Structure 1
Amino acid sequence: MSLSIKTPLLESLPLGHLNGTRVWMKMEATQPSGSFKIRGIGFACQQHFEKGARRFISSSGGNAGLAVAYAGRQLGVPVIVVVPETTSERARHLLQLEGAEIIIHGKMWSEANALALSLLTDQDAFLHPFDDPLLWQGHASMIDEVVAEGIRPDAVILSVGGGGLLAGVDEGLRRHGLDHVPIYAAETQGMSSYHAALKAGKPVEVTALTGVATSLGARQVCQRAFDIAQTRSVVPVIVTDREAVNACLTFLEDHRVLVEPACGAALAPLYGKKLNLENEKNVLVIVCGGSTATVDSLNSFNG
């Protein structure tokens, strides 16, 4: 039994008309934990459970932590999520709803992560938010579903934080002989650690992360995300916070689905007609989701 669901693949007429092509949306926002993260994390949790893990530990107050909490509840396994003090009340509430034990520690994720790692015993499994081959294997299933519906994309647009989604989509494309398909990797200006890695020629730690797209807030992308750009065309795209938020609000009007600014980063290049896609017959955008977004929070960003 998979802990993730098969999500809808929908054509976006508004985005297609804007960009002179057909735009297909993989609606990962409809996953039970609210984002694509449950694909990889659910798969990893099942693997760990089958090997004897009897507690899951995470250090994410966002989508990854929620996916771990959901997986634990489904498998009957207790979950501890260590979050920094900056974690929103909404995120804490959603974790509590899933039955996770929450420990608040430190001002930054790195401090929360250090405590989470210190709690590990032989019977525990630690779930990294993005840097784990098991996650990439699970995330790849979204491309399996797209191809099974008869769509072989000519380009893929997605958001990049730590690089787990990018690694999973690349793995899924390669499974189906789509090694040549370019991936447009979108970030906001204040969260552009992938762009920094490509510029430096290796993953590097960015000194400061700023802005509204907090789910993209990895100081350094995983090595695998960087390596992919050496073997296929990966085009970095940077948008402003306002563009990401406006994309979320327009997407809500167009498709009646609320997503967070990290997801808006992937939608913004389409709404802003920033990419030359007219020669691509089928463009796939990963609507990655985000449980903690609210209409009020989006409007307050634009206030």
Structure 2
Amino acid sequence: MIDTGDVRAAARRIGDRVRRTPVLQAGPTLWFKLEHTQHAGSFKTRGMFNQIVAAATRGVLPSAGIIAASGGNAGLAAAYAARELGVPAEVYVPSTAPTVKVDKLRKLGASVVQTGNEYAEAYAAAVEWAQASGAYFCHAYDDEDMVAGNGTLGLELLDQLPSGFDTVLVAVGGGGLIAGMIAALHGQASVISVEPATSAALHAALSGDGPVDVPVSGVAADSLGARRAGDIAYSLARDAGIASLLVDDKAIVDARRRLWDDYRQVVEHGTAAAYAALTSGTYLPAPGERVVVLLCGANTDPSDLTLT
């Protein structure tokens, strides 16, 4: 299982290939970690760099390059990391992937295949072609190297907020980010899962006996639309006893608008889910509780932010 040592090893492996993203203090006891300013627009760039470099170090990265499946962000991260490392990349995305993400994938030099209506269908097609082509399959979230790389975000937070913090709110799809945060912050802070009520794979896993398929829909499905939570995320979240919260689409849309109106931060709907836990009152911090909200992705069309 992934632990803090694995995350620290990932940080050394990644080095300065990723940005040290800033922290914005939004109140006396509230901070935003601006990870949406990361290369390729999301935290997943950390995990993808670690996954690809680790594969090369182990001698298992073929000349055929990498294949990834994604609702958008993991593919963008894979395309960016592959380009920077000089590795061919092919990315499978569902036909419902936002145009802004598909266009950016192509700009980053990746070959793009659109298939199926949701991430699970794109994933199945990508796995099949990886096996046939010999390319290295980079999982979007349920991979130890991916998780450890994502966790480097938590190490940055510990360094950036030396006086400490109590709680981190994390938007969850398949669970690759929250798994990394749990590993990085073990014994340092509480990590809380926030999911859309209509795409709640980790919540379903924690409410039952493990990961199960769940229906996926809603405004944040393009980035938090994993049909099933990753085994790594489930195991770490279960063992840590984390709280799992659900927010509805209205709260997500409102939180995204507030992030723009109040702080001029442009994020995608999935990212806004973490803040929605606070703005909707789903999570009520205790007096004096120091809370960090991870803003983890910005691959969105901002044209609707100023609509009334």
Pick the aligned partner of 1:3 from 8, 12, 17.
Answer: 17
* Structure 1 match to 2:135: 124
Distance in 2, matches of 1:204 and 1:61, equals 19
Q: Which moved more, 1:65-74 or 1:140-149?
A: 140-149
Q: What is the 5 A alignment of 1:127-138?
A: 127-138=138-149
Residues 1:87 and 2:97 aligned together: yes
* Structure 1 match to 2:157: 146
Residues 1:53 and 2:67 aligned together: no
Distance in 2, matches of 1:299 and 1:161, equals 27
Q: 1:53 touches 1:123 (CA, 8 Å); kept in 2?
A: yes
Distance in 2, matches of 1:277 and 1:264, equals 18
Residues 46 and 192 (structure 1), Cα distance of their counterparts in 2 relative to 1, 3 Å cut: same
Q: 2:46 touches 2:152 (CA, 8 Å); kept in 1?
A: yes
Pick the aligned partner of 2:297 from 286, 289, 300.
Answer: 289
* Structure 1 match to 2:44: 37
Pick the aligned partner of 1:203 from 211, 214, 222.
Answer: 211
Return the offset for 1:248.
Answer: 0.7
Residues 190 and 3 (structure 1), Cα distance of their counterparts in 2 relative to 1, 3 Å cut: same
Residues 146 and 218 (structure 1), Cα distance of their counterparts in 2 relative to 1, 3 Å cut: same
* Structure 1 match to 2:170: 158
Residues 135 and 151 (structure 1), Cα distance of their counterparts in 2 relative to 1, 3 Å cut: farther
Q: 2:170 touches 2:293 (CA, 8 Å); kept in 1?
A: yes
Q: Secondary structure at the match of 2:17?
A: coil
Extract unaligned runs of 5+ from structure 2.
Answer: 1-14
Q: 2:247 touches 2:282 (CA, 8 Å); kept in 1?
A: no
Return the offset for 1:184.
Answer: 1.8
Q: Indicate the RMSD between aligned Cα atoms, in angstroms.
A: 2.0
Distance in 2, matches of 1:60 and 1:39, equals 15
Question: How many residues are paired up?
Answer: 288
Return the offset for 1:34.
Answer: 0.3
Identity level (%): 33
Q: Secondary structure at the match of 1:278?
A: coil
Q: What is the CA deviation profile of residues 193-245 of structure 1, one whole-angstrom value per residue up to 9, with x for unaligned ones?
A: 22211221321111x21101021111111122222333324111111111101
For normalisation by structure 2, the TM-score amounts to 0.87
For normalisation by structure 1, the TM-score amounts to 0.88
Aligned amino acid, residue 168 of structure 2: V
Deviation beyond 3 Å, 4+ runs, structure 1: 297-300
Extract unaligned runs of 5+ from structure 1.
Answer: 17-21
